[in-house]
């Protein structure tokens, strides 16, 4: 039986203006007695001990008047041109509530004192992200929600969602785990299948959502192409990068239903940027090679793999664009800083920065046979100089001395900016119907 990522026979509305009576929090109904952070599954009695809500029961999706709407408004909306608006209902999950945020991104627990950076929502120009109206058969009220974790889980029921890339994608991976956790009635039914705790030293995680028979996975691949080593005449090992060969982790990629790829920041580091005795094609090691040209060739290697191995009728592919860094006075390894930034940049030329790497991404995606959805987060991250861990990538509470010598102005605090990237994935799933065949239960693990 054919199924789709749009799992209900319903359409969603794009609101051109803010709702007149929007709830305080996107997951909490209006007039609720408790406006603290609660997941929709806690607020609505749509789940019981037998499992989550099934299709066609307990909640639905309509427009504000209870009727079906055309999807044309959704399709015409450019989600990536917009601005950040203050929203006291954010963040979607409470800081400190999610056990899957590792120390490097847990800025508040690490001693960051300001919190306004948590209260911003991404809003496209001239429209909004798809807003669904939720109603419950158990209740007398309905409400609008920008993001609904329970509905997201229902859309990926029986599927594998896999994020592949560097630590920026791990940043996004931890965010999506925290967001989807908000949709669970019984949170013990979400777990890493091998019992692994998320750490930067491990490169593969599989989180299963038992009630939905779906998994959300992370596969580390810094470049998407093959990393290797060579031994020089003195017996020393030096890294190499084969820009014409796909990464060895690709055998895992084939098994996913939804893929989210990225690569970018590692191309600006050390040997990668200098390009001396580092890049390979075939057996030939280039004595010197331009990193931008290498990036383009590597991305084409990835694109060729996608075209040969992905079935667009059964799988959905995203490429998440370059996430902006905000170093002042240096780079990540040369004294660059972003400490003390407490609000986004809302105007200025910085908002239009579009790095050469993204122009290459645009070019390569246009050449591909398999359609790839570009999560073009570059502009929306240009605004957010306030969202990085800075000096709060390590715990500096309890009187510990704060080191300002090396600051993280590339990754993002959680809750924070990567939550918006995952809202955009959700918006994409909501706004289009993708045909696929349902997999059997044993095809996952």
Residues serving a catalytic function are 167, 408, 411
Helix, strand or coil, per DSSP, at residue 162: strand
Spatial separation of the C-alpha atoms in residues 425 and 377, rounded to whole Å: 11
Which residue, 334, 364, 121, is CA-closest to 264?
364
Spatial separation of the C-alpha atoms in residues 394 and 403, rounded to whole Å: 10
Contact between 328 and 336 under an 8 Å Cβ cutoff? The reply is yes
Spatial separation of the C-alpha atoms in residues 326 and 306, rounded to whole Å: 32
Which positions ≥6 away from 45 have C-beta within 8 Å? 58, 136, 138, 139
Spatial separation of the C-alpha atoms in residues 408 and 325, rounded to whole Å: 9
- Cβ neighbours, 10 Å, residue 15: 17
Which residue, 386, 414, 240, 418, is CA-closest to 321?
418
Contact between 324 and 386 under an 8 Å Cβ cutoff? The reply is no
The dihedrals phi and psi of 37, each to the nearest 5 degrees, come to: -70, 115
Contact between 112 and 413 under an 8 Å Cβ cutoff? The reply is yes
The alpha carbons of the chain give a radius of gyration, in whole angstroms, of 22
């Amino acid at each position: 039986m054919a199924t789709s990522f749009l799992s209900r026979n319903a359409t969603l509305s794009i609101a051109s203006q803010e709702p007149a009576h929007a709830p305080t929090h996107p997951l909490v109904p209006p007039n609720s007695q408790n406006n603290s952070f609660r997941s929709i599954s806690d607020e609505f009695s749509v789940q019981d001990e037998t499992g989550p809500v099934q299709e066609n029961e307990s909640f639905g999706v309509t427009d504000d008047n209870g009727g079906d709407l055309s999807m044309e408004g959704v399709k015409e909306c450019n989600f990536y041109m917009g601005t950040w608006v203050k929203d006291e209902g954010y963040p979607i999950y409470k800081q400190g509530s999610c056990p899957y945020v590792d120390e490097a991104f847990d800025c508040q627990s690490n001693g960051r004192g300001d919190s306004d950076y948590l209260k911003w929502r991404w809003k496209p120009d001239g429209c909004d992200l798809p807003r669904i109206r939720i109603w419950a058969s158990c209740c007398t009220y309905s409400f609008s929600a920008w993001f609904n974790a329970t509905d997201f889980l229902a859309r990926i029921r029986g599927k594998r969602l896999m994020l592949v890339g560097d630590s920026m994608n791990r940043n996004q991976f931890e965010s999506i785990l925290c967001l989807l956790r908000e949709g669970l009635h019984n949170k013990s039914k979400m777990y890493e299948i091998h019992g692994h705790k998320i750490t930067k030293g491990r490169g593969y995680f599989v989180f299963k959502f038992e009630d939905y028979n779906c998994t959300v996975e992370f596969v580390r691949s810094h470049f998407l192409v093959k990393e290797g080593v060579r031994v020089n005449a003195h017996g020393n090992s030096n890294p190499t990068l084969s820009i014409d060969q796909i990464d060895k982790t690709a055998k895992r990629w084939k098994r996913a239903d939804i893929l989210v790829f990225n690569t970018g920041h590692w191309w600006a580091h050390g040997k990668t940027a200098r390009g001396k005795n580092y890049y390979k094609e075939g057996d030939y090691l280039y004595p010197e090679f331009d990193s931008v040209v290498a990036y383009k060739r590597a991305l084409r290697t990835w694109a060729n793999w996608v075209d040969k191995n992905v079935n667009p009728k059964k799988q959905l592919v995203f490429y998440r664009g370059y996430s902006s860094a905000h170093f002042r006075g240096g780079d990540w390894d040369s004294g660059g800083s972003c400490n003390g930034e407490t609000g986004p940049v809302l105007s200025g030329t910085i908002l239009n920065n579009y790095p050469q790497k993204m122009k290459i991404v645009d070019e390569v995606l246009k050449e591909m046979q398999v359609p790839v959805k570009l999560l073009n987060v570059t502009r929306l991250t240009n605004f957010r100089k306030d969202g990085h861990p800075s000096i709060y990538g390590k715990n500096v509470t309890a009187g510990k001395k704060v080191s300002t010598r090396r600051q993280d102005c590339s990754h993002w605090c959680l809750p924070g900016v990567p939550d918006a990237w995952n809202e955009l994935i959700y918006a994409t799933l909501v706004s289009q119907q993708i045909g696929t065949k349902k997999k059997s239960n044993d095809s996952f693990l």
